């Protein structure tokens, strides 16, 4: 483990302190175990994370932080069945938590259970009114070469994004533009890029792609967002 940067030095010192306290003062508290387990997750020490979270879920079943941590560790150790069970439990006890939803969707994707993954992400996007689940759904659909589902996911993200007083992110427009270019629809791709530019003129990806397509960047470049 690299402990030379200030942030990593602090993290290493924190973990070392927890281990020292355990050695000197008996068993760790649940919160100490969760903190140490999260430290191991951050550094990709999956087996240590699993060993740390295991007594947490045994002693306090249903505690979402423990179930989530153990689920992530087991997913990275290749036990997708256990990972999914724990992440589903975490999701039940902390509904609407986007971190848990993303981890659970990843496990479902790796299991090949795309139907449940789609349902999870669509439901989260609709119930939370957030763009993130739809963006994740679109990205997985692109990986699966399911262009129709990807198009719908990005359109849903745009609809949610446009429902605020001012759209907050260029991401659904940009990703939809990339997809439209791949599908051979340059006119529609350009329209989405110009909408993205209207959302934020400071996204370098958007400006670069517009220039690559020969669009002049001036006061008329941006067009209103929306479907």
Instruction: Tell me the pLDDT tens digit for each residue of 112-139.
Output: 999 999 999 999 999 999 999 999 999 9
Could you tell me where the DSSP H helices lie in the chain? 6-25, 30-42, 46-59, 64-76, 80-93, 98-111, 114-128, 132-143, 147-162, 171-182, 186-199, 204-212
Instruction: Tell me the pLDDT tens digit for each residue of 142-171.
Output: 999 999 999 999 999 999 998 766 668 999
Scored b (16 or more CB within 10 A) or e, 151-181 reads: bbbbebbbebbbeeeebebbbbbbbbbbbbb
Are residues 128 and 99 in contact, defined by beta-carbon separation less than 8 angstroms?
A: no
Residue 168 has a pLDDT of 81
Domain boundaries, the chain: 1-112, 126-227
Are residues 107 and 75 in contact, defined by beta-carbon separation less than 8 angstroms?
A: yes
The fold of 1-112 is: 1.25.40
Residue 5 has a pLDDT of 53
Mean pLDDT over the full length of the chain = 90
The fold of 126-227 is: 1.25.40
Task: State pTM to two decimals.
Answer: 0.85
Q: Per-residue pLDDT for 9 more than 50? A: no
Banded pLDDT at 10 (limits 50, 70, 90):
very low
């Amino acid at each position: 483990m690299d402990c030379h940067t200030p942030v990593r030095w602090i993290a290493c010192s924190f973990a070392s302190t927890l281990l020292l306290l355990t050695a000197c003062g008996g068993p760790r508290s649940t919160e100490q175990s969760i903190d140490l387990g999260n430290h191991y997750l951050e550094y990709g020490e999956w087996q240590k994370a699993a060993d740390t979270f295991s007594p947490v879920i045994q002693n306090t079943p249903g505690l979402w932080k423990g179930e989530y941590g153990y689920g992530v560790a087991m997913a990275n150790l290749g036990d997708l069945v256990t990972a999914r069970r724990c992440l589903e439990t975490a999701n039940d006890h902390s509904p609407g938590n986007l971190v848990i939803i993303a981890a659970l969707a990843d496990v479902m994707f790796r299991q090949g259970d795309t139907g449940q993954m789609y349902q999870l992400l669509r439901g989260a996007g609709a119930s939370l009114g957030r763009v993130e689940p739809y963006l994740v759904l679109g990205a997985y659909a692109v990986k699966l070469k399911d262009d129709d589902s990807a198009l719908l996911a990005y359109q849903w993200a745009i609809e949610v994004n446009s429902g605020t007083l001012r759209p907050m992110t260029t991401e659904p427009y940009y990703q939809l533009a990339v997809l439209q270019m791949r599908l051979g629809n340059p006119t529609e791709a350009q329209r989405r890029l110009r909408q993205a530019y209207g959302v934020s003129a400071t996204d370098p990806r958007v400006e670069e792609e517009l220039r690559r397509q020969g669009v002049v960047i001036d006061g008329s470049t941006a067009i209103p967002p929306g479907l």
